[in-house]
């Protein structure tokens, strides 16, 4: 009965005129239960853009470095950059907060920094829809400085999703390890988990899937290679399942450290009902969410191109996949909610 419900939910999603390909993969922790479905020829071994699910890789690396004693949540962000590079990054109501920013502020999305990817009249999302482009961390920092922060760091009960937080975390990881981010991902995550089709693209030979915006398939390899720690990884649904299971089981890092991430705050209203903890999202299923009443929660991450990787602890089910539609990435989140609520 439950697989029939999954079939119905998936079928309704892919009937949308703007969904051209999709893949869904569901398993419990032990793999005793497994379900998959595909549309448009996209199977569980087809490459897909993780987009912001990449943030879970970045979070994993931060936790591993914390466990190794090479970082702490309270480390000041400016410690990892040349003096003056970040000056003026967080200027709120006439007061400079840049020197107070910590790794925890970035990881928990409580820095208050604006999101240059989505906010502003000429945000990166609008620019990338028009043309492929590369952008450096220095350029991202400059764009962020030109915008107004949303609040002072660690303001009570507030979080604000901003890609710049994870771009900076990526730079910190490289600084601490004295290695490139792609090598750190490989040695900390890909190799230990046996992920052979997951990678951070860096050159022209690395395959990068096209992204759909409504009915148009667009190729943006230069921009995706720029996203790195915030949203640049490529994987498959099968390997994303391996990773999300390992992430929430504490395979890569001490589970006690992970427990410190379980402090959730509401994100900006445009992302309702999503909350954010330390490096990952939480979607409460209780109450009246997305017109569906349920119990429990989904924890994990979604991406701006329609990718998703969530865990429902109450029913011990993992939901991963992709709808590949950047015009309406919330489609993937709504589908994950429906799937979780319909599960027995």
Element (H, E) at 166: helix 163-177
| 295-307 pLDDT per residue, tens | 799 999 999 999 9
- The reported pLDDT for the residue numbered 290 is 47
Q: Partners of 213 in the beta sheet? A: 216
pLDDT in tens, 159-182: 999 999 999 999 999 999 999 999
Q: Which among 326, 84, 333, 335 has a CA at the least distance from the CA of 224?
A: 326
pLDDT tens-digit map of 9-29: 999 999 999 999 999 999 999
The pLDDT tens digits for 241-264 are 999 999 999 999 998 988 999 999
The alpha-helical segments, DSSP class H, found in 15-91 are: 54-67
* DSSP strand pairing (265-266 vs 275-276): antiparallel
- Percent of the residues in the chain that have a pLDDT greater than 90, as a whole number: 91
Write the pLDDT tens digit of every residue in 81-91: 987 899 999 99
Contact 295, 285 (CB under 8 A): yes
Does position 35 have pLDDT exceeding 50, yes or no? yes
Q: Are 309 and 244 in contact (CB under 8 A)?
A: yes
Strands 95-96 and 211-213: unpaired
pLDDT of residue 321 exceeding 80, the answer is: yes
Please report the pLDDT score of residue 287 as a whole number: 60
Q: Return the residue matching tokens 């990773």.
A: 243
What confidence score (pLDDT) does residue 289 get? 47
Query: What's the confidence (pLDDT) of residue 291?
Result: 53
Tell me what pLDDT residue 154 has. Answer: 86
How many CB atoms neighbour CB 344 within 10 A? Answer: 7
CATH class (in words) of the domain with range 2-342: alpha beta
The neighbouring-strand residues paired with 23 are: 38, 322
**Tens of pLDDT along 38-55?**
999 999 999 999 999 999
Sign of the torsion angle spanned by Cα atoms 23, 24, 29, 31 = negative
> Is residue 288 pLDDT above 70, yes or no?
no
Task: Look at residue 151 and give its three-state secondary structure.
Answer: coil
What is the predicted pLDDT for the residue at 179? 98
Distance, CA of 325 to CA of 306 (rounded, Å): 5
For the stretch 185-224, pLDDT in tens is 999 999 999 999 999 999 999 999 999 999 999 999 999 9
């Amino acid at each position: 009965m439950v697989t029939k419900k999954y079939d119905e939910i998936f079928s309704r999603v892919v009937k949308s005129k703007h969904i051209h390909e999709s893949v869904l993969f569901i398993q419990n922790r032990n793999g005793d239960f497994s379900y998959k479905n595909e549309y448009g020829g996209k199977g569980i071994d087809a490459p897909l853009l993780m987009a912001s699910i990449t943030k879970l890789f970045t979070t994993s690396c931060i936790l591993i470095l914390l466990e190794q004693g090479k970082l702490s949540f309270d480390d000041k962000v400016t410690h990892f950059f040349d003096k003056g590079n970040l000056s003026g990054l967080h200027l709120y109501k006439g007061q400079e907060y840049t020197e107070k920013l910590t790794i925890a502020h970035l990881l928990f999305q409580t820095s208050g920094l604006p999101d240059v990817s989505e906010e502003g009249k000429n945000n990166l999302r609008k620019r990338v829809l028009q043309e492929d482009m590369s952008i450096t961390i220095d350029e991202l920092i400059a764009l962020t400085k030109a915008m107004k922060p949303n609040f002072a760091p660690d303001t009570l009960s507030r979080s604000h999703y901003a890609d710049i937080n994870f771009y900076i975390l990526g730079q910190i990881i490289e600084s601490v390890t004295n290695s490139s981010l792609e090598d750190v991902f490989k040695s900390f995550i890909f190799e230990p988990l046996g992920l052979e089709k997951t990678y951070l693209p860096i050159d022209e030979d690395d395959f990068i899937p096209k992204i759909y915006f409504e009915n148009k398939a667009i190729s943006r390899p230069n921009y995706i290679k720029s996203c790195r720690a915030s949203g640049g990884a490529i994987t498959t649904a099968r390997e994303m399942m391996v990773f999300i299971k390992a992430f929430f089981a504490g395979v890569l890092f001490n589970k006690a450290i992970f427990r410190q991430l379980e402090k959730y705050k509401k994100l900006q209203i445009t992302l309702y009902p999503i909350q954010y903890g330390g490096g990952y999202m939480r979607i409460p299923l209780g109450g009246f969410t997305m017109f569906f009443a349920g119990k429990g929660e989904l924890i994990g991450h979604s991406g701006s191109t329609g990718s998703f990787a969530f865990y429902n602890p109450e029913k011990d089910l993992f939901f991963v996949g992709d709808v590949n539609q950047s015009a309406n990435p919330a489609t993937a989140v709504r589908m994950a909610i429906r799937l979780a609520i319909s599960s027995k």
